[in-house]
Structure 1
Amino acid sequence: MSTKGFNLADDHIPGEHVNEYLHSYVKEFELMRHMRLTTRVKSAVDEKSAGWTLTVVQHTGPNEKEYKIAASKLVIATGLTSEPLIPTLKREEAFGAPIYHSSQFAKAENGLGTFEKVALLGGAKFSWDIAYAYASAGIQVNWIIRKSGHGPCWMMPNRLTPLRVIPELLLQTRLITWLAPCIWDDGFSYIRNFFQQHWLGRKIVDTFFAKMQHATEKTNDYDGHVETAKLKPWDDVFFIGTNRGLLNYRNDFFELVRNGRIKVHIADITHLSKHEIHLSTGNSIQADVLICGTGWKDTPQLNFVTDKELGLPGHTATPMATQIERANAHIFQACPKLRNQPTQPQHESATAEDNTKKASPEPYRLYRFIVPPAFINSQTLAFAGAYRSPATTIIAQTQALWITSYLDSQILKCSTDASSERITYETILHTQFSKWRYSRGFGARFPELWFDCLPYVDLLLKDVGVRNERKGGWFRERFEPYLPGDYGGVVAEYLALRDGVW
């Protein structure tokens, strides 16, 4: 990506530059001829070994054209953030003001709009961004963080340690990954076992995470003011997963809270009336708009028609209790710290605003977080991006290579045990690990990859058969962060392996 027109030191890449880069990428690799834009998939019918029949609708202005596509292979790459989750609020028809999802922020009102009183619902990073945008422009923000939810997310400094290291790079450094529990073998299990199972190693790990949490709390000075104290996270930093963000703002965010430009309310919404939001505390808020930073639906975005289990919420039967027990025992033996789960905060019961969230009978149960076990042998279906991680660039590239190898019928050739029993068990094991590792995040619903993103990449590369240790030296391999450039050449290595050149 060209850096012309913006300063990398500012940490912010303008959206138009990202868009220009994507257009140039499409042109460079002649991808446009493979694309069908302004098109959505209504359904996908499983045709067994023949693949899938897709019913799609193409929008051309006010008109729609429906047709079918026969696909021998189907990759769903819509990820977990493609369909907004908008709460249903009691008496919302009486509100008489706009209500929209935070994903519509950039276009809903052509910028910040003409609002004088903004109400914001949700405690995740995007809500912090919207609160900052309005408050720094001099607009009053009433920020509602649900008492029945996860609370305010952890917000870290955008540079860590006296060396001012970018946080993401620490997560992609092997030394740091050893300090976190992980059940995937990256070739360094003997070191990780010391940190996770030996009393001295566990003491080092506990000290590391305690220092991390204390340093963040001290830097943000939550307890220095009665209002900023409301933004202090409710959960231990160790167990939260991706429910965190960076304080990458030009000015002090917390000063906007201290001076009252941002007013924080820890409460649920009971109902709405004309330009008024009523809270479970008994207070009410006047508002010209309500913006819902309430996340995304984690259920499938299209209608699958198949008699096989898809490994998706609502499309998978509950595994046998013995399989769950076996997986849990494996996890707690390898990662003893995960036995001591945090106590769930005692919140008020959820109100009407949560009634769009239905408890899924099962979380995502995909082999390697990619393929439903029931489809592993047919090799007709894969999911890309069905996870959350700060290392998306590296993981997306690696998942793409893994899926290519899988659809080329190469993955199982690299395995010493490709039995359906082994694949089913590993699927349960890995998804149960996510549940216990990020129990105060979303690990029980879908994969979260934070301190374990690099070992996950190692796992996929080992499946494919290419080198996973790519830094080119003992010291660099252990103490330098992995960057996208370190994975240059993996495609050529895979092609050579597939074609028998090695």
Structure 2
Amino acid sequence: MLTDYDLVVVGAGWFGLAAAKVYLELHPTENILVLESSGSCGGTWAETRIYPGLKSNNLHGTYEYPDFPMDPKVYAVQPGEHIPGDVLHKYLTDFAKRFGVFSRTRFHTKVVSIEPGLDDTWKLQTSLPDSKEQITTARVILATGLTSTPNFPQYPGVEKFKGPYFHAKDFYRNGETVKTAENVVVVGGAKSAYDVAYAYADAGAKVELVVRPDGQGPVWISHPYVDFGLRLEKLLHVRFLTCFSPCPWGDTAGYGGIRNWPHGTRIGRWLVDKFWATLGGGVVAANGYESHPELKKLQPWNSAFWIGSGLSIHNYPNNFFDMVKQGNIRVHVATVDHLTEQEVHLSTGDILRADVVVCSTGWQKQSSLQYLNFPEAKIGLPHPKEEQARLVAEADENIFARFPRLKNQPRLLGAVKPGDPYRLYRFIVPPTLVDKRNFAFAGMVSTVSTSICANSQALWISAFFDGNLDRLAKTDKEITNEVLLHTQWGKWRYPCGYGANLPDFVFDALPYADLLHADLGLQLNRKSNGFKELFAPYGPEDFVGLVDEWVEKHPTKTG
């Protein structure tokens, strides 16, 4: 069957741009389209998502594509500096233009639904500002990301409230309120809530920060440098330190003995606990949670061991925690009961005056895109519920045998426990579609190692589509066992992060890149000697020219 396109990529953020760039390099004559619902590239860093003072958590040098370094002369960001949001938007747009993706991108086009067509093709129903269109394609990559559909509560009485009421996603559109608001209520305990609270407080407003008592609590937030002047984001990519995170594919690049001992022995597990207690204790001490009653309310409720990529970086010009101590930001552990014309009423009985209410209440991890007539109706496993339950129990038994520490789960303080995680092979392909080789997710992961993961997933997907992976599960049973092992691991590893819903990587991102690179037949240990391999941090610079390297190793598998 003829199709409109050979490939459609949905989403023009970090992962979608990387996927389109690599596919174009390996298929330069094919007809490729990128669909983006907003009016610009960038995803989280799209023009309409950049609010006052927004910066990256990462410092310059770790938040860039391997094959497109962020030149300080071009982008006016120096090593050791956080990257402003508008600079990241320009960088991602420049990347799209440099590699031919921008000219193939159609903006203001939302994909409403996707369904199988004839002869293993796909039909995408799109919505444009003034029309609708159906597009057919031989292959599709969904890279809609994890922050496209906001959780936006509609509290009782919101229709009576006289001031602006919006989700943090729309802070950009309401940026003028930073200059005019005197009393602001920010709902949420995540980093974006802190960002919004800081912006208003820094402009002179009185800010009330409301953290609900039945959620995951305040975010873990560290300064960029920890003990001995070490840069936290780089520590996450030191191979030796990744051994302190239990991970079922952690020994892909070798060092199995070093990795297994910390989790398979009582002394090793004691050392793992000490390692995480030291990391967390350093953050608690640096932020001074114990020094002030208001700061105490912001002390995270669970160990950093369980948090996942929700651990954020203090990237503000002035100290956020000083604003709390000085009373510019007041903290309330409560739920919002209702709103009146100029007030927010809390479950504690407190009444907060408000000119503006901002809900930094997170994101729906499941896209609003509809999956129609999919195999087995969904994108998960095809087994009956009873069979799935048995297989899940077997996977759990395997995980707890290898990593006994994960049996001792934290108490989630009344948080609603989510359902099953996304069941994707390599966190990319639905098990029922592995044999089709025409459908993939890109970026269905939560990680601070965005550029490394985006680059590795992009090459893996292109090679997978072409049937050119060196290693791929060969039977349905093998696929099922790997999917369940990996996704159940996420559920037990990061219950206070996103692990129960989707992959959440901290010290696990480098091993994940190893996993994908092993499938691709690429070099895993990429440092110049054994000492550096274990103790020097990996970064985007270690993965420059990955596509060329793959082509050189597979000269007969490229077009």
Residues 166-190 of structure 1: per-residue CA shift (max 9 Å, x gap): 2111011101101111110322222
Kindly state the Cα deviation for residue 310 of structure 1 after the two structures are TM-superposed: 6.9
- Correspondence 1:80-99 to 2 at 5 A: 80-99=146-165
Q: Which of 87, 108, 130 is residue 196 of structure 2 equivalent to?
A: 130
For 2:435, the equivalent position in structure 1 comes to: 377
| 1:249 equivalent in alignment to 2:316 | yes
Q: How does 1:29-48 map to 2 (within 5 A)?
A: 29-47=99-117
Q: Which whole-Å CA distance do the structure 2 matches of 1:80 and 1:312 have between them?
A: 17
Higher mean displacement: 39-48 or 307-316: 307-316
Check if 1:115 corresponds to 2:172. no
Higher mean Cα deviation, 363-372 or 98-107?
98-107
Amino acid at match of 1:65: S
Letter of the 1:2 partner, please give it.
D
Aligned to 2:37: none
Q: Deviations over 1:3-25 (max 9, x none)?
A: 23634256222333223323332
* Structure-2 residue corresponding to 1:486: 542
Corresponding position: 1:395 with 2:453: yes
Matched, 1:173 2:238: yes
Aligned match of 2:218 in 152, 156, 162? 152
Report SS of the residue matched to 2:538: coil
Q: Report 1:402-481 matches (<5 A).
A: 402-411=460-469, 413-415=470-472, 417-481=473-537
Q: Tell me the amino acid that sits aligned with residue 385 of structure 1.
A: G
Asked whether 1:265 is paired with 2:332, we answer: yes
Worse-matched range after superposition: 167-176 or 37-46: 37-46
AA in 2 matched with 1:47? G
Single out whichever of 215-224 and 393-402 deviates more from structure 2: 215-224
Matched, 1:362 2:420: yes
Between the aligned partners of 1:85 and 1:193, the Cα distance in structure 2 is: 39
Q: Does 1:26 align with 2:26?
A: no
Give the TM-score of the pair, scaled to structure 2.
0.83
Deviation digits for residues 72-123 of structure 1, max 9, x if unmatched? 0010011111111101211211122211111211222336141110000000
Gaps of 5+ in 1: 351-358
Structure 1 residues 501 and 104: CA distance shift in structure 2, 3 A: closer
Q: Distance in 2 between matches of 1:313 and 1:109?
A: 40
Give per-residue Cα distances to partners, 1:427-451, cap 9 Å, x unaligned: 1111100010001222111110111
The worse-fitting range, judged by mean Cα deviation, of 489-498 and 117-126 is 489-498
**Tell me, what secondary structure is at the counterpart of 2:505?**
coil
1:198 equivalent in structure 2: 265
Q: What is the distance in 1 between the residues matched to 2:189 and 2:361? A: 8
Q: Deviations over 1:45-70 (max 9, x none)?
A: 212643201122333xxxx1322211
Q: Distance in 2 between matches of 1:45 and 1:344?
A: 37
Gaps of 5+ in 2: 1-69
For residue 327 of structure 1, report the CA deviation from its aligned partner: 0.5
Cα gap change, 1:142/1:471 in structure 2, threshold over 3 Å: closer, same or farther?
same
Distance in 2 between residues matched to 1:499 and 1:52, nearest whole Å: 30
Q: Deviations over 1:143-166 (max 9, x none)?
A: 10011111101111210121x222
Contact map agreement 1:314 1:361 (CA 8 A) in 2: no
* Change beyond 3 A, Cα 1:35–1:316: farther
Structure 2 residue aligned with 1:340, among 387, 408, 432? 408
The offset of 1:471, in angstroms, is 1.2
1:17 aligns with 2:87: yes
Q: State the SS of the aligned residue for 2:504.
A: coil
